[in-house]
């Protein structure tokens, strides 16, 4: 079922690829800031066209990855868990997002362990799927459960290319997901098969264009237009895939979901 959503986004005014903190980033390759802004604006418009609410946080100079709002926190039931980034290059994003949460009236708590927000913490029905292995520490999962008051299911990521959970798994609705099995440890694959027996299995080609870094409202799924196999699989499963091109932002390792933090009052 389609539900109207509230999203927080950050315009990529200062987007650049000047350092390397994930396998997608190449500081020696050219990037186009103006194109990144246009692609981001088209993504924002896609959400508005679907009837969703989009709010914006002001981008700060010197923080080229601040566009990836999903990493700014996790908001569930009006409680906002802030973030602690693994990499120093992104550290100053954490207080900026926490300030927005406070100004918007949310109860805010900052984690004591590395935690990169909805990059690794995804609400799926009544539970939180929590990734670990590269960015978000396993120790943070206990903090997440305690503050957000939802059961947490730990999932071990094993492929450096899919360093955040939201690059390897998309929550489609309250009962189903799409994911790339090879991005997870054998034990985590078994857990996902048990929890989501009807999951859509993505191909390596889908994942290679960050096709799983998608945003679903329960029916409409906004995903990279280059993920052709996943688009067709979603359509066959009864979802409405909406393709967008955010390939310039992919040069920093991000897609539609990375740019989108869901605000759950």
pLDDT tens over the chain, length 265 residues: 678 999 999 999 999 999 999 999 999 999 999 999 999 999 999 999 999 999 999 999 999 999 999 999 999 999 999 999 999 999 999 999 999 999 999 999 999 999 999 999 999 999 999 999 999 999 999 999 999 999 999 999 999 999 999 999 999 999 999 999 999 999 999 999 999 999 999 999 999 999 999 999 999 999 999 999 999 999 999 999 999 999 999 999 999 999 999 999 9
* C-beta of residue 212 within 8 angstroms of C-beta of residue 230: yes
**Is pTM, for the whole model, over 0.85?**
yes
The domains located in the chain, with CATH, are 6-262 (3.75.10.10)
Rg, Å, the chain Cα set: 17
Residues 9-46 as b/e (b if ≥16 CB within 10 A, e otherwise) read: bbbbbbbbbeeebbebbeeeeebeeebbbebbeebbeb
Residues that are catalytic:
164, 258
Chain centroid to CA 222: 12
- CA 73/CA 119 separation, integer angstroms: 9
Facing residues of 186 across strands?
A: none
Output phi, psi for 128, to 5 deg.
-110, 120
Using DSSP's 3-state secondary structure scheme, residue 239 falls into coil
* C-beta of residue 256 within 8 angstroms of C-beta of residue 220: no
Residues 232-258 as b/e (b if ≥16 CB within 10 A, e otherwise) read: ebbeeeebebbbbebbbbbbbbbbbbb
Q: What is the predicted pLDDT for the residue at 1?
A: 64
């Amino acid at each position: 079922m389609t539900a109207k959503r509230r999203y927080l986004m950050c315009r990529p005014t200062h987007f650049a690829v000047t350092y390397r903190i994930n396998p997608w980033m190449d500081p020696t390759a050219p990037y186009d800031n103006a194109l990144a802004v246009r692609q981001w604006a088209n993504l924002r418009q896609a959400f508005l066209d679907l009837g969703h609410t989009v709010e914006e946080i002001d981008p700060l100079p010197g923080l080229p990855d601040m566009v990836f709002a999903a990493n700014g926190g996790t908001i569930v039931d009006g409680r906002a868990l802030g973030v602690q980034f693994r990499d120093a290059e992104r550290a100053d994003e954490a207080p900026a997002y926490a300030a927005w949460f406070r100004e918007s009236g949310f109860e805010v708590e900052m984690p004591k362990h590395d935690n990169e927000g909805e990059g690794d913490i995804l609400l799926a029905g009544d539970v939180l799927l929590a990734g670990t292995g590269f960015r978000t520490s396993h120790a943070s999962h206990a903090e997440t459960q305690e503050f957000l008051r939802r059961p947490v299911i730990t999932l071990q990521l094993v492929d450096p290319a899919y360093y955040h959970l939201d690059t390897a798994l998309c929550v489609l609705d309250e009962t189903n997901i799409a994911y790339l099995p090879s991005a997870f440890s054998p034990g985590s694959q078994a857990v996902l098969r048990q929890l989501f027996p009807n999951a859509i299995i993505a191909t390596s080609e889908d994942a290679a264009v960050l096709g799983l870094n998608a945003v679903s409202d329960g029916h409409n799924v906004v995903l990279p237009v280059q993920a052709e196999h996943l688009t067709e699989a979603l359509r066959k499963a009864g979802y409405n895939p909406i393709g967008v091109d955010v390939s310039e932002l992919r040069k920093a390792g991000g897609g539609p979901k990375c740019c989108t933090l869901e605000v759950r009052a």
